[in-house]
């Protein structure tokens, strides 16, 4: 048996005729920030619901702590913390009242509960706001309280569904810093879903999902190294004919995407000069950038992030 903390084997799940997860398998060791990256409709939300015991998988097997998630939901729930994308705080209660209620759900009382609340609020910089109503807090402050709530019972694994949704870039970076502290100082294993490239870039490893399939699994750096060069985008009035001419002339793959011609090429700045000289009058504009995770997704799937949630 694998010694990984989480093992997902041949997981398939359907909603009627629609397949949300299609034979997905991967493993996550302890003390890792593991990201599920994909567009809406990719399957990451369904996978999150299965891991958090809200949905029972139809086919395949999921083991967390060596325990079958489908058969031992109560045991799993005691050992995980979950922060959903949708707010779960009662806006009409104070921060302290929300956390006390959460503690009671896990049979925490008295000094032990108060000690944990104080520790969490201090860690997330919210100790001076504990008497404030949740409705008076900013979006970033509410997200901190959500995290404190999910961690109150000292879970071994923290599950986060789109944790940066609605947060500005500064608060997103702060959230990533908090997660790294949990991994490094507390030995926490963290699994999060995201469609944000900046958030995915700070994960230790990523599983990229598209239309229910696992299309890649690696570190962000190694995924981007698969591109093997710069990404060049060419604006032109007739993208398909130009793409065919570029492919024939230079022996490279040229893809039409959103009305532009996309080419991956090492030493892209030099290639641009050759490109413009080879096709005078056909090119309106050219841009170049280093590979991103979205470029990896495009390479693997042939399209950008799009679709309905699943």
Closest CA to 208 of 45, 37, 48: 37
For residue 36, the cross-strand partners are: 193, 207
Tens of pLDDT, residue by residue over 17-50, are: 999 999 999 999 999 999 999 988 889 999 999 9
Supply the angle between the helices 139-151 and 95-105 in degrees, to the nearest 10: 20
For residue 61, the cross-strand partners are: 9
**Start-end of H helices in 106-138:** 110-123
In the chain, which stretches have pLDDT less than 70? 1-2, 306-310
Domain 6-224 part of CATH 3.40.30.10: no
The pLDDT value recorded for residue 175 is: 85
- CA 32 from chain centre, in angstroms, equals 13
The pLDDT value recorded for residue 114 is: 96
The pLDDT value recorded for residue 308 is: 42
Tens of pLDDT, residue by residue over 230-262, are: 999 999 999 999 999 999 999 999 999 989 999
Domain ranges of the chain: 6-224, 228-290
Closest CA to 118 of 135, 130, 101: 130
Containing 194, the helix (H) or strand (E) segment is strand 189-194
Whether 91 and 141 have beta carbons less than 8 Å apart is answered as: no
Domain 228-290 part of CATH 3.10.450: no
The pLDDT value recorded for residue 170 is: 83
């Amino acid at each position: 048996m694998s010694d990984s903390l989480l093992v997902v084997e041949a997981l398939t799940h359907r909603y009627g005729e629609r397949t949300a997860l299609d034979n997905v398998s991967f493993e996550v060791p302890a003390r890792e920030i593991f990201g599920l990256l994909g567009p809406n409709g990719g399957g990451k939300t369904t996978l999150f619901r299965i891991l958090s015991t809200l949905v029972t998988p139809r086919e395949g097997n999921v083991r967390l702590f060596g325990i079958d998630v489908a058969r031992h939901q109560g045991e799993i729930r005691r050992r995980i913390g979950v922060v959903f994308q949708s707010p779960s705080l009662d806006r009409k209660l104070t921060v302290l009242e929300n956390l006390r209620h959460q503690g009671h759900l896990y049979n925490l009382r008295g000094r032990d509960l108060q000690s944990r609340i104080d520790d969490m609020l201090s860690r997330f910089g919210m100790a001076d706001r504990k008497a404030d109503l949740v409705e008076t807090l900013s979006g970033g402050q509410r997200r901190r309280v959500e995290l404190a709530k999910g961690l109150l019972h000292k879970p071994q694994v923290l599950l986060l569904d789109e944790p940066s949704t609605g947060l500005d870039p500064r608060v997103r970076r702060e959230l990533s810093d908090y997660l790294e502290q949990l991994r490094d100082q507390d030995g926490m294993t963290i699994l999060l879903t995201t469609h944000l490239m900046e958030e995915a870039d700070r994960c230790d490893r990523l599983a990229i999902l598209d239309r229910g399939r696992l299309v890649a699994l690696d570190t962000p750096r190694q995924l981007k190294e698969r591109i093997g060069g710069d990404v060049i985008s060419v604006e032109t009035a007739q993208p398909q004919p130009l793409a065919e001419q570029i492919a024939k002339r230079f022996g490279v793959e040229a893809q039409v995407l959103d009305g532009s011609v996309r080419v991956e090429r090492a030493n892209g700045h030099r290639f641009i000069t050759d490109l413009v000289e080879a096709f005078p009058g056909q090119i309106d504009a050219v841009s170049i950038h280093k590979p991103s995770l979205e470029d990896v997704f495009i390479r693997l799937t042939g399209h950008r992030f799009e679709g309905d949630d699943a």
